[in-house]
A and B are shown apart, each in its own frame.
Chain A
Amino acid sequence: MARTPRAVVLAFLLLVLGGAHAAMRRAYSLPFPPLETLVATGRSLQDVGITAGGFRRAAADLAWVQFLQYLAAPGGWSAEGVRDQTLRVTRLDPRFKEAYIYGAGILGFFRNMDHPHMAIAILREGIQHNPHEWQLHATLAAIVYRVEEKPEKMLRELERLAHAPDAPPVIRGILGNTYLSMGELEKSMVMWELILESPAPEGERERAKGKIREIRLRKAKERRSAGRS
């Protein structure tokens, strides 16, 4: 006699459970690509281990810190290394737009790198996951203009990116260096000062301080030579 109500209660609970599970899955699909898309690096065990615990964004954060350490390490970087480190972060968290911009910025603009096609591929992947992030589109446009040798259009896109409040310091650095090579010292100075005002990584800040010193020296030299003439 007592068995029937127990079975009924259990059946009811299981029915509610199944219904809620189905409704929950219908209402929202998880925003992460499957694990097989993760980039295999020397730290794959760390990535899979943290993801197994359900901490996908935290795994991307740690990968990001390690990416910055990779860039700061002595001995130089390789284009493949920068690409893999970028994709390691972004495959863990495809919404990490700063990582796409950072990696693509280095690959697309740094003189010792110069792998715009790798940068374009990274940004295209970023845009696929974040179609409404204008900064990804602008970075892609700037790199494409650079490849097509249209410097005015490239500078316009970089300016737009660099003056956004949450602009990645790498973009400001790229623009600062571009202006410096063009002899636009004032415009370059603005970029380095913007980096110092923002919470940029220590390496970027040191670089900005060095560039500011360099610009001041060049200005003083120019003034001296103008005075002599």
Chain B
Amino acid sequence: MSALAALASYTIKHHLRHRVYLILLIFGVLMLGGVIVLSALAPDQRLRILFDLGLAGIEVIALVATVFLMVNLILEEMESRTIYLILTHPVPRHTYILGRFAGTMCAVLAGMALMALLHLALLLPSGWDASWAYGAAWTAIALKMVVVGGLALVLSLFSSSANTAMVLTVFLWILGHFTSEMSFLAMKSQNMLIQGAVWLTRSIVPDMSYFNYRDFVGAAIVPGAAWFGWLAVYAAAYTAVCLYLSSLLVSHKEF
């Protein structure tokens, strides 16, 4: 447990000092500033635009940070051979993976929390009625990032190329938003082969649309607590599978 905490703490410090992380945070702040300008173009829908585009901005920055940091997390250490320094200690490889993953996610979530505070500082003086829906939307984005992080990590270890892993993660991110669309098209096609391929894809690719609670806020029927619970279980299980596979890949790697 102490090895896990030490690894996570070391990873958080490493990321907080990372130039890319800081640049992304500054970019996030600037993006939130851009949202103010955009919302001024539609004054009667100003709050809606501030809410939607602000959360979208937080998600985009968090996505870039998660993919970039997670893909380079272990690949950089393998290239610079600093991984030997850690693995020469009595640290099981699954603890190493878990510690590094947890540290990276803590750094990303801290950045997201900071941007959310700035976002709320824009929303509240504009007359927005504070609602628990904001917290729910933020949490759903955070769960989405945890899933993306797990996916990026396993793909980076699988492909051993940072660029390929980043492209694959973003591709799966986009595909994950089309799973319900694919089901709709498969249903229309009536072709068993297409339906089977869609079912397989839908089972492998994370169902990203379900994490978009920010898009359900204005819906006539808002998802209940049970749905949120299942979403958390789904995110945890998907991430656990990714971490388990990452751990297997690292344990089979020759350093």
Which chain A residues have a beta carbon within 8 Å of chain B's beta carbons?
Answer: 6, 9-10, 13-14, 16-18, 20-21, 23-25, 27-28, 30-32, 34-35, 51-58, 61-62, 64-65, 68-69, 93, 95-96, 98, 129-132, 168-169, 198-202
Contact = CB atoms under 8 A, between A and B. Distances in A.
A95 B238 CA distance: 31
B215 A56 contact: yes
Interface of B: 38, 41-46, 48-49, 52-53, 56, 59-60, 173-174, 176-178, 180-181, 184, 203, 207-212, 214-221, 223-224, 226-227, 230-231, 233-234, 237-238, 240-241, 244, 248
A198 to B, nearest CB: 7
Q: Is the interface of B mostly helix, strand, loop or mixed?
A: helix
Nearest to B54: A58
A2 to B, nearest CB: 10
Contacts of B209: 30, 54
Given A31-B221, A64-B42, A10 B244 contact: yes
Contacts of B207: 21, 24-25
A27 B223 contact: yes
B224 A13 contact: no
A168 B44 contact: yes
Contacts of B231: 20, 24
A53 to B, nearest CB: 7
A14 B240 CA distance: 9
A57 to B, nearest CB: 5
A158 to B, nearest CB: 18
A20 to B, nearest CB: 4
Contacts of B44: 98, 168-169, 198-201
A71 B217 CA distance: 28
B234 A24 contact: yes
Q: 7 closest A-B pairs (Cβ-Cβ)?
A: A20-B234, A27-B227, A17-B237, A20-B233, A24-B230, A28-B223, A31-B219
A34 B184 contact: yes
Nearest to A169: B44
26 contacts: A6-B248, A14-B241, A16-B233, A16-B237, A17-B241, A20-B231, A21-B207, A21-B234, A24-B210, A27-B224, A28-B216, A28-B227, A34-B184, A35-B181, A53-B60, A54-B177, A54-B215, A55-B212, A58-B52, A61-B48, A64-B42, A65-B41, A129-B220, A131-B220, A132-B220, A201-B44
Nearest to A195: B44
A13 B240 CA distance: 7
Contact of A13 (B42, B45, B221, B244): B244
A65 B226 CA distance: 36
Given A64-B49, A202-B43, 15 more contacts: A10-B244, A13-B237, A20-B231, A21-B203, A27-B226, A28-B223, A28-B227, A34-B180, A35-B181, A52-B178, A54-B211, A55-B59, A56-B215, A93-B215, A96-B218
